[in-house]
Every structure is written in structure tokens, then in C-alpha cells.
């Protein structure tokens, strides 16, 4: 094999690995965009739910079907958001602390937030983490609403 062939081959494999990296970057930014979309949709649904509840209370009319529908939509969106967050975290190769749910850099020995020893991590408790995240998210939504009113 000539030197030129060798250089071309190396250049090609370098381009391939850049392409793969770029692919990952694109996927991650797509995920982030999707998460943003879902958050704004969630925000909209929460507002709608608030309006419907307000109207129901004010007029005494039965809006329970509409409320149920909105609640189902919201639950679905929250599930999607969680799935995306999991994907984002796993694509960063982070490990989740079993104590507080914080994502830590892979290879970390202690949790950066609560200091728990990560190498002794038990199987992840998804429910516990989701609850915390949901509460955080609900707080964010409420803060947003306060700003806009």
C-alpha cells in the first residue's frame, strides 16, 4: 500500500468518526428540542386545565370529561418527558444516584449532590426519582405562570 493510500484511508476513518460524533450531537439536540416542545405543551395543558377547573367551579357546570382528558394528556406528556430525560442522561453515560436521583458523571465515586457512595448504588428506584422530578417541574410551571400573569 502506498503512503498516499494510507493517508486517504486515515482521512476517511477520521471523517467517519467525526460523522458518528456529529450524529450523536444531532440526536442529543433533537432530544433536547423534543423535551422543550413537550415542556411548552405541558405548560399549555396545565393552563387549560386551570381554566377548565376555574370555569367548572365558577359556573357549577360539569366539565369532568374535559378535565379527565386534560389529565390524561398531561400524564402522557410527563411520561414522554421522563423517557427523553432518561435517554439524554444515558447518552451522556451518567449514573443516577439511588439516594437523591442526581445524575453523576460515569466513574464518579460519590454523588455530587448528596455525597452517597455511588459504587454501592442499589438498583435505581425510578418512582422515587420521577416524583421528585415531577415536583420540580410543577414548581417550574407555577413560577412560569406567575411571571406571565
When the beta carbons of 89 and 114 are compared against Zn ion, the nearer one is 114
Smallest separation (angstroms) from Zn ion to the CB of 131: 15
Quick check: helix, strand or coil at residue 15?
A: helix
**Residues 6+ positions from 84 with CB-CB distance below 8 Å:** 31, 34, 35, 38
E strands along the chain, which residues?
94-96, 103-105
Q: Which of 38, 42, 78, 97 binds Zn ion (CB under 5 A)?
A: 97
Assess 99 for contact with Zn ion (CB under 5 A).
Answer: yes
Number of Cβ atoms within 10 Å of the Cβ of 145: 13
When the beta carbons of 66 and 99 are compared against Zn ion, the nearer one is 99
CB 111 within 8 A of CB 94: no
Assess 95 for contact with Zn ion (CB under 5 A).
Answer: no
- Residue of 79, 118, 78, 77 whose CA lies nearest to 100: 118
When the beta carbons of 60 and 123 are compared against Zn ion, the nearer one is 123
When the beta carbons of 46 and 129 are compared against Zn ion, the nearer one is 129
Smallest separation (angstroms) from Zn ion to the CB of 129: 10
Q: Which of 113, 119, 126, 140 binds Zn ion (CB under 5 A)?
A: 113
Q: At what angle do helices 64-91 and 3-59 cross, to 10 degrees?
A: 160
Q: How many residues make contact with Zn ion (CB under 5 A)?
A: 8
Smallest separation (angstroms) from Zn ion to the CB of 137: 19
Assess 111 for contact with Zn ion (CB under 5 A).
Answer: yes
- Residue of 127, 31, 91 whose CA lies nearest to 103: 91
Assess 142 for contact with Zn ion (CB under 5 A).
Answer: no
List of residues contacting Zn ion (CB under 5 A): 97, 99-100, 102, 111, 113-114, 116
Amino acid at each position: 500500500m502506498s503512503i498516499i493510500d494510507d493517508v486517504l484511508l486515515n482521512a476517511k476513518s477520521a471523517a467517519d468518526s467525526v460523522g458518528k460524533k456529529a450524529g450523536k450531537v444531532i440526536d442529543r439536540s433533537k432530544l433536547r428540542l423534543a423535551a422543550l416542545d413537550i415542556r411548552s405543551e405541558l405548560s399549555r395543558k396545565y393552563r387549560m386545565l386551570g381554566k377548565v377547573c376555574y370555569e367548572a367551579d365558577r359556573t357549577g357546570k360539569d366539565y369532568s370529561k374535559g378535565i379527565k382528558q386534560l389529565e390524561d394528556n398531561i400524564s402522557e406528556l410527563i411520561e414522554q418527558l421522563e423517557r427523553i430525560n432518561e435517554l439524554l442522561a444515558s447518552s451522556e453515560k451518567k449514573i443516577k444516584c439511588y439516594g437523591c436521583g442526581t445524575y453523576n458523571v460515569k466513574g464518579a465515586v460519590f454523588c455530587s449532590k448528596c455525597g452517597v457512595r455511588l459504587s454501592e448504588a442499589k438498583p435505581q428506584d425510578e418512582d422515587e426519582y420521577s416524583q421528585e422530578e415531577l415536583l420540580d417541574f410543577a414548581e417550574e410551571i407555577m413560577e412560569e405562570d406567575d411571571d406571565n400573569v
